[in-house]
Structure 1
Amino acid sequence: MTKWHLRNPWLVVCSDMLLMVGCQSDYLGTRDVFEAYRLDNSTEPAKWVKVERLENWAIFISNDQRSHYHA
């Protein structure tokens, strides 16, 4: 994963995992695709690994600007 791979990434705590969830536009630009990566601390240095399945977890994502925290 490159530094600029995801647009507007969020850090999310999910059980014992730290996830980075962000948006990636598809190749046609007609819809957005969301991806999640977990921080793998078992390597030195730690690296972000794509999450293929959340198993029993769910992440709810909205485009509504009211759902975003703005400082």
Structure 2
Amino acid sequence: MPSGVDPRHVLDVRTLEMLVCPLTKTRLILSGDHTELISVAARLAFPINKGVPLLSLDEARSVEPDEIKTLTRGQN
């Protein structure tokens, strides 16, 4: 966890395992910088605000396949 980050604002990995994309119902991947959840199937990135994932399609942004590779580098 980066210094100066309130631990209450960090997404718990166990919570991540339960979350799915609201559009495709597929698994989400935490971005390398821990600020977004990525749906590879939908090509969407959902923001995480103060440890709370905003899984609304209105909040999501579109991502290109090359950007997905960059965002999820080192993730499975």
Query: What TM-score does the superposition give when structure 1 sets the normalisation length?
Result: 0.35
Structure exhibiting the larger radius of gyration computed from Cα positions? 1
Instruction: From the two aligned structures, give the one with the greater helix fraction.
Output: 2
